Amino acid sequence: MSAAVLFSACIFFVSFVCCVWIRSRQHHKPPGPKGWPIIGNLFDVPKGKAYLVYDEMAKKYGSDLLYLNMAGTPMLILNSAEAVDDLFVAKAIIYSDRPHLPMVGDLLGWNFSLALHPYGERWRTSRALLTQQLSPSNMEAYQIPCLEDYVHLFLNKLLDMPEDFENHLYLLSGGTALSSIYGIYPHSRSNLYLQHAEKAAAGLQQGTLPGSFLINTFPLLKYVPEWFPGGGFQTKAKSERVHVRGMVNDTFEFAKKSMENGTARSSMASRALQELYNDGTWSEEKETLLRNVLGTIYCELFTRTAATINTIILALVLNPRILNKGQAAVDAVIGKDRLPNFHDEGTIPYIDALVMEGLRWRPIIPLGMPHYTARADVYREHHIPAQTIVMGNTWAILHNPATYGKDVDQFRPERFLNEDGTLNSKVPYPSAAFGYGRRICPGKAAAQHQVWIAVASLLACFDVTKVVDPVEADPSTEYFDGGILTPLPYRCNIKPRSKAAEALVRSSDLPGK
């Protein structure tokens, strides 16, 4: 063999090895458990507390990235704020899509929701209208007055039936949303419109959890008839679809009919519809878009606030010191002759910190809504395929000791404060509780207003303590893990702080006046 031939062979061999190495590096996926043929990691999907399991699994593999194969569908869990920022924010054009979930969209009827729209023109149009509806001027005109009235109703109901506080919380969140959006003023959690929203939201959260329904992995299953073995999901979808339609369509029709018969109360729906009529731009397409956007706002406001306030009440029961500090902070700014209002938000740093800690300690959606890659990507030399489901592990991010301190499992508002009681700007706001990047919850400000005013008002008027029966007992700290993280029913004593506080509550304005 001549030297030239040998040299050429060596060059070819080296080039071949380099190409193979480069391709192997390009297709080196993030770490994760080894799967089975065909089904991949379906058996690795946890039955409960997935956010904890995925966090521990990621630590086992020494990475904040965790990769699984869901019977051919790649899934990536991001367990750090750095990874979330690098992908959902810096590479938003790739990571802002949503996966198609047949159970949720096709069978339950959630295709209307902006939260599930694919990233594109339809999403941008809906998002623009939604942002307009939640503008500061609309908030002050509709949401804030209704919110303050329903907080007053919440306080009055605590005086009458303190043991039923969980129902009062759902009335507070749902009533604020219904009245401000549609001009509907419920006075009980049993209100049909509230029942529709509560049951519809529960189905949504369960349906978006990875592995919750095989149909989301094998879309052809949607053609399995209800009577066929394994077709029980069809029965479930048929039942829950009624509530989704009631939440979106029936509420909007109520607002329309009220306008027609002259009984409509001012609301987002009535104002937006009247503007379409007045300027001659009404069309069936625009009305459908408005209906769907308002339905999205209703669901977002209803689901995110009651559970957060409930968590804060639980924390106050468990921590009398925090309760006392919160009451003292409110008294120092508000006094004892009026109730807190919208304009007080931001003037009491301890309440700001208490609300932030509630969002951080028990984020209501601990494993965020799924994102979807529009195309393949390479991150930290890892290959991330196109059409990968990507989820931010909100729990892991908000329980990172490097960010929030070693005692992340404890409820401690002081972590957000400086020694002088002002807010510590170096400790990040727990924005992960509202989602990520361009898909962050657009109702974030509205939800925060509601939690803040409710908590400040509760502290101004009530003591919240452990039950003594016959001895003092800690309440249950177990949570229902069905997509939305909600405290299981627990007992506590809720009593007015004084006769003056009781009189102040009784004299407050109530909804519908």
Which residues neighbour 120 within 8 Å (Cβ) at sequence distance 6 or greater? none
In a domain, 11, yes or no: no
326, two tokens: 């919160």
Give the pLDDT of residue 25. Answer: 43
Looking up tokens 């003292």, which residue turns up?
Answer: 328
Question: Considering the domain boundaries, does residue 9 fall inside one?
Answer: no
Binding positions for heme are: 441
Instruction: Let me know if residue 3 belongs to a domain.
Output: no
Neighbours of 374 (CB within 10 A): 17
The Cα 173–Cα 164 span in angstroms is: 15
**Three-state SS for 227?**
coil
Q: Which of 466, 509, 439, 481 is nearest to 96 (CA)?
A: 439
Q: How far apart are CA 496 and CA 505, in angstroms?
A: 9
Angstrom distance (rounded) from CA 106 to CA 219: 10
DSSP, res 442:
T
How many domains is the chain built from?
A: 1
Tell me if 400 sits within 8 A of 127, measured CB to CB: no
Residues making up the annotated binding site are: 441
In a structure prediction context, what are the per-residue pLDDT tens digits for the chain, which is 513 residues long?
555 545 444 454 444 334 333 443 445 899 999 999 988 998 898 888 999 999 999 999 999 999 999 888 999 999 999 999 999 999 999 999 999 888 888 888 899 999 899 999 999 999 999 999 998 888 888 889 999 999 999 999 999 999 999 999 999 999 999 999 999 999 999 999 999 998 888 777 777 766 677 787 778 888 888 888 888 888 888 888 999 999 999 999 999 999 999 999 999 999 999 999 999 999 999 999 999 999 999 988 887 799 999 999 999 999 999 999 999 999 999 999 999 999 999 999 999 999 999 999 999 999 988 999 999 999 999 999 999 999 999 999 999 999 999 999 999 999 999 999 999 999 999 999 999 999 999 889 999 999 999 999 999 999 999 998 878 888 989 998 777 888 999 999 999 999 999 999 999 988 876
Q: Is residue 6, in this structure, part of any structural domain at all?
A: no
N-to-C CA span, the chain: 100
Maximal C-alpha separation, the chain: 106
**Any bridge partners for residue 485, and if so which?**
481
Cβ partners under 8 Å of residue 197, min gap 6: 174, 177, 243, 247, 298, 299, 302, 303
* β-strands 371-372, 389-392 pairing: antiparallel
What is d(CA 172, CA 166) in angstroms, rounded to the nearest whole number?
A: 10
- Radius of gyration from C-alpha coordinates of the chain: 26
Considering the domain boundaries, does residue 5 fall inside one? no
- Locus of tokens 């004084």: 498
Tell me how far apart the alpha carbons of residues 57 and 413 are, in angstroms, rounded to a whole number.
29
Tokens for 311, please give them: 């968590």
Concatenated DSSP letters for 140-171? Answer: IIIIHHHHHHHHHHHHHHHHH-GGGHHHHHHH
Q: How many CA atoms lie within 13 A of 24 on its CB side?
A: 6
| pLDDT on residue 42 | 87
Using a 10 angstrom Cβ sphere, with 0-12 exposed, 13-18 middle and 19 or more buried, the burial of residue 429 is middle
Q: Which structure tokens are listed for 371?
A: 């994102």
Closest CA to 198 of 452, 510, 486: 486
Report the predicted TM-score, pTM, of the whole model to 2 decimal places.
0.90
Is 299 a member of any domain?
A: yes
Within a domain: 363: yes
Q: For 335-399, where are the alpha helices, taking DSSP H only?
A: 349-361, 394-398
- The Cα 217–Cα 108 span in angstroms is 16
Residues paired with residue 73 on neighbouring β-strands, in sequence order: 70
The CATH number for 186's domain is 1.10.630.10
The C-alpha atoms of residue 66 and residue 86 are separated, in whole angstroms, by 15
Host domain of residue 77: 20-506
SS3 of residue 75 by DSSP: strand
Please give the structure tokens belonging to residue 467.
């039950």
Is 1 part of a structural domain of the chain? no
* Sequence-ordered list of residues with C-beta below 8 angstroms from that of 31, at least 6 positions apart, any chain: 61, 62, 63, 65, 66, 67
